């Protein structure tokens, strides 16, 4: 009996190495890393055990809340499938997905692994844990030894983290938090409700926000660390229930009740909004990498399926209409990947900046708002098209492809919905003047471009005009137009980056992809008639036609 058989009948990409077949990703990553990363072992894992496990969890074995122990004690714990445990252990300890930054390497390696994992449920558990380690490492050195090695998989017993900020009356509006902190006996005691608490019941330690004294509004919030057990070894918070969700099933998202829960303040009192915003930058880039990874899985399912299914005597992939759809998907996806890894490169360069932060960090934050939004939108669009290219089968929950569209739909919401990214982008422009560094960086990039210069220049003009327009508006008008401007800016930068990568690496497919991207998503016009001739070099991402450095 071959136990691997069943799943290979359900998916067109099960058993393939998701890194080896993704040449555009390999090359974009190499461009921004400045070296080749051997992610083949993880690519093989992502294409097989991880792929099957995450789909199986979605359909069959979601995490379950367990409230009581056999001895009648409240445990508020989560039962996850043994396979999910195995996957988490392997990703954290064997592949070391959270380690790079803490081991003195580029944080880009973490995000590259995240792109291959893609599944937003599993990746959420990892993201929350990585983010918790990041904040403790940077702002709570006294707790470094107790938590960071466990959170990054350097110890035998792995720890999990969480970040609980959202309350029922406000997720975007953190100033509406009602959780209160009282101090006594050298400790803080927190009381309040956290309404969206992912990893609740799994996390060993969580970061959370609360007010104390007379502080009010977002600028008065403080950040706290809450261990799962208090100093007497008792449960430190209660898990009221788990949410019923349309996707991200592998991460339990619950409602947490804090009732004089023991906590420790992180960083300076009243400065949580800085720390939270910075920690959200870490996870918004995770969100962007995941959004691209999700879209890539869906693209691959569609690409291989259209190479097998025949209609009207031809393979689907031989019909010009299908080629066009695949081209749209691939061009959009490559632009998203380029934008994501460019932003991660900026983050890696500004990672040591602390409040009130330098210009490099503010530029990174500006890019992060834009990239979080663009990649989420593109992921929804690419995954939707992937289901459509499967015809009726794409709508059936019997096969993995439909899940990717459901999964993609969380990416525009959590970590701040798109209007919030637009408002934060406006703040980075209006108050921090972060656009000055952005425009000067893209001007430099432009100066290195030798082919498709006119296209790249026209994209730069769209970028600059969008910013100038926003700067010329009053507050209300700017907020009204901000999301649209953010899209134009993101698309313009994506096209420029693809052309730039092509020019610098000598891979003409990226120059073509950048030019097609500019036409379709910046100018918003249909491709020119020669695009069909260029399409094959772009859509066949796995083989000789898409050779590296052609």
| Contact status: 149 vs ligand FAD (CB under 6 A) | no
Q: Which is nearer to ligand FAD, 327 or 429 (CB)?
A: 429
Q: What is the DSSP secondary structure assignment for residue 195, as one 8-state letter?
A: E
Residue of 189, 414, 442, 517 interacting with ligand FAD (CB under 6 A): 414
Distance between CA atoms of residues 50 and 485, nearest Å = 38
Rounded least distance, CB 335 to ligand FAD, Å? 23
Q: Terminal CA-to-CA distance of the chain, rounded, Å?
A: 43
* Angle at alpha carbon of residue 518, lines to 517 and 522, rounded to 5°: 110
Rounded least distance, CB 125 to ligand FAD, Å? 10
Cβ-proximal residues to 324 (8 Å cutoff; 6+ apart), any chain: 527, 532, 535
Distance between CA atoms of residues 84 and 57, nearest Å = 8
Stretch in the footprint of ligand FAD (CB under 6 A) among 64-72, 162-170, 230-238, 383-391: 162-170
Task: Report how far apart, in Å, the C-alpha atoms of 161 and of each of 7, 197, 323 are.
Answer: 32, 11, 44
Distance between CA atoms of residues 409 and 59, nearest Å = 17
Rounded least distance, CB 299 to ligand FAD, Å? 24
Distance between CA atoms of residues 240 and 164, nearest Å = 14
Residue of 47, 96, 293, 416 interacting with ligand FAD (CB under 6 A): 416
| Contact status: 417 vs ligand FAD (CB under 6 A) | yes
Distance between CA atoms of residues 79 and 66, nearest Å = 7
Q: Which is nearer to ligand FAD, 43 or 120 (CB)?
A: 120
The single residue listed with the structure tokens 């950040």 is: 223
Q: Which is nearer to ligand FAD, 69 or 172 (CB)?
A: 172
Q: Which is nearer to ligand FAD, 134 or 399 (CB)?
A: 134
Q: Which is nearer to ligand FAD, 170 or 270 (CB)?
A: 170
Stretch in the footprint of ligand FAD (CB under 6 A) among 110-118, 169-177, 321-329, 516-524: 169-177
Backbone angles phi, psi at 371, to 5 degrees: -70, -35
Rounded least distance, CB 530 to ligand FAD, Å? 40
Helices (H), 140-233: 144-151
SS3 state of residue 79? strand
Which residue number places its CB atom closest to ligand FAD? Answer: 171
| Contact status: 171 vs ligand FAD (CB under 6 A) | yes
Residue of 197, 242, 265, 273 interacting with ligand FAD (CB under 6 A): 197
| Contact status: 163 vs ligand FAD (CB under 6 A) | yes
Q: Which is nearer to ligand FAD, 48 or 249 (CB)?
A: 249
Binding characters for ligand FAD, 226-245, by CB under 6 A (x = yes)? -------------------x
Rounded least distance, CB 318 to ligand FAD, Å? 40
The single residue listed with the structure tokens 């944080």 is: 107
Rounded least distance, CB 121 to ligand FAD, Å? 9
Stretch in the footprint of ligand FAD (CB under 6 A) among 54-62, 193-201, 222-230, 429-437: 193-201
Q: Which of 456, 457, 476, 478 is nearest to 466 (CA)?
A: 478
Q: Which of 367, 296, 286 is nearest to 332 (CA)?
A: 296
C-beta neighbour count of 521 within 10 angstroms: 23
| Contact status: 413 vs ligand FAD (CB under 6 A) | yes
| Contact status: 420 vs ligand FAD (CB under 6 A) | yes
| Contact status: 248 vs ligand FAD (CB under 6 A) | yes
Do residues 333 and 378 touch, judged by C-beta distance below 8 A? Answer: yes
Residue of 14, 165, 224, 399 interacting with ligand FAD (CB under 6 A): 165
**Residues in the chain, overall count:** 550
HSE toward the beta carbon, residue 37, CA cutoff 13 A: 27
| Contact status: 224 vs ligand FAD (CB under 6 A) | no
SS3 state of residue 241? strand
Q: Which is nearer to ligand FAD, 112 or 159 (CB)?
A: 159
Distance between CA atoms of residues 339 and 336, nearest Å = 5
Distance between CA atoms of residues 541 and 18, nearest Å = 11
| Contact status: 254 vs ligand FAD (CB under 6 A) | no
Residue of 101, 164, 303, 521 interacting with ligand FAD (CB under 6 A): 164
HSE toward the beta carbon, residue 162, CA cutoff 13 A: 26
Do residues 337 and 453 touch, judged by C-beta distance below 8 A? Answer: no
Rounded least distance, CB 379 to ligand FAD, Å? 15
Stretch in the footprint of ligand FAD (CB under 6 A) among 98-106, 165-173, 294-302, 358-366: 165-173
Residues that bind ligand FAD (CB under 6 A): 163-166, 170-173, 196-198, 245, 248, 253, 410, 413-414, 416-417, 419-420, 423
């Amino acid at each position: 009996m071959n136990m691997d058989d069943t799943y290979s009948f359900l998916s067109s990409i099960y058993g393939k190495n998701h890194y080896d077949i993704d040449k555009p990703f390999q090359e974009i990553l190499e461009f921004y890393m400045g070296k080749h990363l051997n992610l083949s072992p993880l690519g093989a894992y992502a294409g097989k055990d991880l792929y099957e496990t995450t789909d199986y969890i979605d359909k069959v074995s979601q995490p379950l809340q367990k409230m009581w122990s056999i001895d009648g004690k409240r445990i508020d714990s989560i039962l996850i499938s043994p396979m999910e445990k195995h996957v988490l252990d392997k990703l954290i300890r064997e592949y070391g997905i959270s380690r790079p930054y803490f081991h003195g390497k580029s944080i880009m390696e973490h995000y590259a692994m995240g792109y291959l994992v893609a599944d937003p449920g599993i990746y959420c558990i990892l993201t929350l844990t990585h983010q918790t380690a990041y904040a403790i490492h940077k702002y709570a050195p006294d707790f470094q030894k107790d938590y960071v090695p466990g959170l990054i998989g350097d110890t035998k017993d792995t720890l999990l983290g969480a970040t609980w900020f959202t309350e029922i009356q406000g997720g975007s509006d953190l100033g509406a938090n009602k959780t209160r902190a009282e101090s006594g006996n050298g400790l803080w005691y927190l009381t309040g409700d956290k309404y969206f608490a992912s990893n609740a019941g799994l996390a060993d330690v969580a970061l959370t926000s609360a007010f104390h004294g007379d502080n009010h509004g977002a600028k008065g919030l403080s950040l706290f660390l809450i261990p799962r057990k208090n100093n007497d070894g008792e449960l430190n918070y209660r898990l009221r229930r788990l949410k019923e969700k349309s996707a991200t099933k592998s991460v339990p998202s619950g409602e947490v009740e804090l009732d004089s829960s023991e906590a420790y303040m992180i960083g300076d009192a009243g400065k949580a909004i800085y720390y939270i915003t910075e920690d959200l930058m870490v996870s918004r880039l995770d969100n962007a990498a995941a959004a691209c990874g999700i879209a890539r899985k869906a693209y691959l399912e569609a690409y291989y399926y259209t190479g097998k299914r025949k209609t009207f005597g031809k393979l689907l992939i031989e019909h010009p209409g299908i080629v066009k759809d695949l081209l749209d998907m691939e061009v959009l996806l490559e632009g998203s990947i380029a934008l994501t890894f460019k932003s991660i490169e900026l983050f890696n360069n500004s990672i040591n900046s602390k409040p009130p932060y330098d210009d490099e960090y503010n530029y990174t934050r500006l890019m992060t708002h834009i990239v979080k939004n663009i990649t989420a939108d593109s992921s929804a669009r690419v995954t939707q098209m992937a289901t459509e290219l499967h015809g009726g089968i794409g709508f059936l929950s019997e096969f993995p492809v439909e899940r990717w569209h459901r999964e993609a739909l969380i990416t525009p919401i959590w970590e701040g919905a798109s209007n919030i990214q637009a408002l934060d982008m406006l703040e980075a422009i209006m108050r921090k003047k972060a656009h000055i560094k952005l425009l000067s960086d893209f001007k430099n990039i432009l100066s290195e471009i030798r082919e498709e210069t006119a296209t790249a220049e026209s994209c730069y003009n769209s970028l600059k005009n969008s910013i100038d327009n926003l700067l010329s508006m009053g507050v209300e008008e700017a907020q009204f137009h901000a999301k649209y401007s953010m899209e134009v800016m993101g698309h313009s930068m994506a096209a420029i980056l693809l052309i730039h990568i092509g020019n610098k690496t000598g891979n003409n497919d990226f120059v073509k992809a950048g030019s097609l991207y500019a036409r379709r998503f910046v100018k918003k016009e249909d491709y020119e008639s020669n695009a069909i001739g260029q399409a094959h070099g772009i859509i066949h991402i796995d083989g000789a036609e898409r050779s590296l450095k052609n």
